Structure 1
Amino acid sequence: MALNTQPNLDRPDDFYEALIDMHRDLDDAQSQSANAQLILLLANHIGDHATLIEAMQHAREGATDGPARNTDAS
């Protein structure tokens, strides 16, 4: 199964709103847990190992392509 990176959501605005609503009233740990559970549910739905690896590579590249984050705590 090839990873589809083209826009493919029926209702992207509604999805985004539902995603934001999923996090409403959750603390940071609960929000991270909800994200992790959603990722695992969707990964199980996709099921194809190669597609999941490709998606993880794209996600990591997307996270590291932006401006460097300031990690200086001072």
Structure 2
Amino acid sequence: MILQDNLGTEGDTVYAALMIAHEGLSEAESHALNARLVLMLANEVGDPARLEALFTAARDPA
């Protein structure tokens, strides 16, 4: 599991692109976009055990 910053100076660019993707969406549409994005990224990872570890880590706000 990679928890260090892996985007470097592109982190802000990626965040801005994510915010643009959400522009003009209702709250429900925004949640649906996030759900689709999670599933698409999970498909990219393709390892169920690794995904479970990431889901567990993401629940911890620390």
TM-score by length of 2: 0.92
Gaps of 5+ in 1: 66-74
Which ranges of 4 or more aligned residues in structure 1 deviate by more than 3 Å? none
Aligned-residue RMSD, C-alpha: 1.1
Q: How does 1:41-60 map to 2 (within 5 A)?
A: 41-60=40-59
Larger relative helix fraction: 2
Question: Larger Cα Rg: Structure 1 or Structure 2?
Answer: 1
Identity of aligned residues (%): 39
Q: How many residues align?
A: 61
Gaps of 5+ in 2: none
Q: How does 1:32-47 map to 2 (within 5 A)?
A: 32-47=31-46
TM-score by length of 1: 0.78
Report the equivalent of 2:6: 8
